[in-house]
Amino acid sequence: MHEGDKKTVFLVSRDQLERLPSTLRRLAGTVRRRPPREVHDLYLDTPTRLLMRAGVACRLRRVGTRATLAIESLTPAHDGFTDRLEEAIEDSPDRDWTRPSPLSGRQVRSRLAPLARRLDVQRVFALNQECRVYGVQTRDGARLEVSVGRLYLAGTGLGEGINRVEVAPSASPRYVSRECADVPGGKVSSTQPFPPCSSNVRCRAGMVEDLPAELVRRFAAALQKKLKLKPAVESEFEYGLREAGMAAPVPVEGSALRIRPRDPVRKAAALALTRHVRLMRWHVPGSRLGINPECLHDMRVSVRRLRAILRLFREALPPATAAKVAEELKWLGQSLGAVRDLDVHLQECPAMRRRLPEAERTAADACRSEMSRRRDRAYAALRHDLASPRFRALKKSCRDLIRTLRRPTAAGSRRIAEEGASWLRPELGRILKAGRAIAADTPDAALHRLRVRCKRLRYASETLRDLYGKPVTKMARRLAALQDVLGAHQDAVTAQALIGRAMAETGAATPGGVDVAYALGLCAAGWREEQRSRRAAFDKAWEAFDRKKARRAFLKAIAQGSVKEIA
């Protein structure tokens, strides 16, 4: 696996391009201009766009006479910064892809095997890029590559493209963060450039790592400030899709699944369940593949929403069938959660590393390595669960429950607008009571219970928002904001629990376990400090949520919707 494309991308004007070389020389220690290059990227996918649905793209890149095939995750950029995974990069022959053909790369085929036994792919679109490249060594020793290029859709010409500047790590240096047997003296700084080990002596796990992303960010931020650059809001892939007049596939929902005020409760339950069962199944390929973590996150959210819908409509559902489906969804949610919790922890590890004192940052590297191993084990268990008869039985049970709910209802059945108001009103009351009782010494479990209540009301409001209008939609947004603050706090609590379990299972029981346990303990202490700061953010978030005007508008909207339905 190659953790690649830790880069920051900006859009630039002609004037900014002219000033770029002199700006680089002022900001960096040394700047060397490299020969220009032309990059030709061909993106491939199945006719049904299975790879896009799984959150990845297959890219055939040709630079000069060399063509390489790679898989890249389609994670979104934030302020121009992308931290994408590129996997299974290998040389590949370039050929005509206008018709579906099997992939030629052995590594790529192997990595995509969880999606299907056979993958026939064809051309989606092609991008060309003419680049000027600068090798930059910053004053703190980091070696970067600054690429200035004109990106355009193949067949349209230079005049139709956009100018972009990319700041990324240089491909050659590596950075040693702890003791290494091949380094004279055995220790070097975590940001000192050092070539790969020249001997066969193997470094300890976690000692040698790629250039940290924060060094890319730091230099890119200085360059952005000097030239007043605008971050790119689209990746190359997103730009190519848009220019080619295409769009990424999305689950088909349509107006047929819209809940209307006069729908009987059973029909409304069937519509809500249908929508989220489709979403759950839509994200299965990406979750099985395991490259883009957003796919697994979205599938976990779908499972949570399904459980919330079962609870919301529990009085209208067949008790035995609903209980069976709820139990199986809980099992699936736990399997997904075991991976997702570790994904969140690993995503936050770089930020936690920056917050630790310099002397303790190597402990963060050891912690991250241990958690990565645990994530791999949890993902293997999830992939087994998604291919198991139990998961197939769950999908069948969901279909059977929906079919039961779609049967004709008796005349005079209660309508959803009337019934929904009786569900939403008391749930808000429980949230207000619990939130107002939170104090400085309130246990963490109470905040987690409040978060769960917020999530339930939010999901219920989003399910029924078409019935009651904007005030209910606004309440869902307010609940989401409060839920984010509570979720950040819970992430810190979960991180400590994950580290605690890892400490209990390492120690003297494994080679080097004592050192790993010590490093984990330092990271747990860092997470305790982070938890305190996130806990302090709750008071302000609650004050923003507990507003009389918004609360009254919400209650009035659901009351009016109920009265209109009765009338």
Considering the chain, tell me which residue range(s) the CATH 1.40.20.10 domain(s) occupy: 260-409, 415-567
The DSSP letter of residue 175 is E
Under the banding of pLDDT at 50, 70 and 90, the label for residue 268 is very high
Q: What is the pLDDT of residue 170?
A: 78
Q: What is the pLDDT of residue 328?
A: 97
Look up tokens 């004053």; give the residue: 139
Integer CA distances (angstroms), 372 to 197, 379, 481, in order: 23, 10, 30
Integer CA distances (angstroms), 352 to 368, 484, 518, 526, in order: 10, 19, 17, 7
Please give the CATH number for the structural domain made up of 260-409: 1.40.20.10
Written as one string, the DSSP assignment of 256-292 is: GG---TTSBHHHHHHHHHHHHHHHHHHTHHHHHH-S-
The mean pLDDT value for 432-439 works out to: 94
- For 415-567, give the CATH class: mainly alpha
- pLDDT surpasses 50 at 163: yes
User: Residue 318, Cβ neighbours under 10 Å: how many?
Assistant: 14
Under the banding of pLDDT at 50, 70 and 90, the label for residue 48 is very high
Written as six digits, the tokens of 22 are 């002199």
The mean pLDDT value for 59-72 works out to: 88
Task: Work out the angle between the directed axes of helices 14-27 and 213-227 (0-180°, nearest 10).
Answer: 120
Tell me the C-alpha distance between 410 and 315, whole Å.
16
User: Residue 296, Cβ neighbours under 10 Å: how many?
Assistant: 24
Distance of CA 161 to the CA centre of its chain: 29
pLDDT tens readout for residues 10-32: 999 989 989 999 999 999 888 99
Tell me the C-alpha distance between 169 and 143, whole Å.
6
3-state helix, strand, coil in the chain (%, to 5): 55, 20, 25
- Tell which wins on pLDDT, 92 or 314: 314
- Which residues lie across from 134 on neighbouring strands? 33, 146
The mean pLDDT value for 425-441 works out to: 93
Please give the CATH number for the structural domain made up of 2-169+228-243: 2.40.320.10
Strand positions, DSSP E, 64-179: 66-73, 81-91, 101-102, 120-137, 143-153, 162-169, 174-176
Q: What is the pLDDT of residue 176?
A: 32
- pLDDT surpasses 90 at 300: yes
User: Which value, in Å, is the radius of gyration of the alpha carbons in the chain?
Assistant: 27
Considering the chain, tell me which residue range(s) the CATH 2.40.320.10 domain(s) occupy: 2-169+228-243
